Amino acid sequence: MNQNSTIAVLGGGGRTGKFLVTQLLQQGYSLNVLLRKPSNFVNHESLIEIVEGDALDIEAIRQLLKGCTAVLSTIGQRADEPLVSLQATSNINKVMHEINIRRYILVAGINIDTPFDKKGPQTLAATEYMKTHFPAIHENRQETYRLLSRDERLDWTLVRVPMIEFSEGKGDIKVSLDDCLGTKITAGDIAQFMIQQLHDDRFVRKAPFIANE
């Protein structure tokens, strides 16, 4: 995948998504960015095509993915709003199949479980905290992973992250398929890792943990 590609971005107006958009632009990608409130988005570079809409609306997803070669999502759960992860991914998967896009990279928390995990005490404690205090959000995210794991036609990567520091990347990213090797990750490094996956197939159909420290 080269920099002449157009990338669909969800969550680009959020605190992590802004770092993702900036780094994609710096690398020369054209972007289709889904925004519920475009008036709040301050980046108006010519490489950005803004699509107004909601990830819960499949017609908005169809408009967003038109002409794209990959989908990157940092979309998070909105307070006091309908659960978004599973429905958004369901919509994205459906449209990706319709128009033959294969690469989908998204972010989730370290609380997501996979059959391949060997979570240590710290990661297990964070997982149990989410299950206890935010059971609906946790299960919605878990169902998202189950949906992806059943889909053999998409080249997805689910990036699991610990607490996010909303700052530029540190450049030292610890990656593991077994356990989270730290308690924090910068938004800049999340963006860097996601973009790297556009050119790297090591984590296709896998859910790596990433952390700084």
Burial class (CB in 10 A: 0-12, 13-18, 19+), 60: buried
pLDDT, tens digit, for every residue of 106-120?
A: 999 999 999 999 999
CB 81: neighbour CB atoms within 10 A? 9
Q: What is the pLDDT of residue 37?
A: 84
In the chain, which stretches have pLDDT less than 70? 1-3, 42-44
pLDDT given for residue 78 in this prediction: 78
What amino acid occupies position 191? A
Helices (H), 52-205: 58-65, 85-99, 121-133, 135-150, 187-196
Q: 6-211 — its CATH code?
A: 3.40.50.720
pLDDT of residue 189: 97
What's the pLDDT score for residue 201? 95
Question: Would you kindly state where each structural domain of the chain is located, as residue ranges?
Answer: 6-211
Q: For position 38, what pLDDT does the model report?
A: 79
Residue in 28, 80, 53 with CA at minimum distance from that of residue 195: 28
Distance, in Å, from the CA atom of 147 to the CA atom of 90, rounded to the nearest integer, reads: 8
Q: What is the pLDDT of residue 18?
A: 94
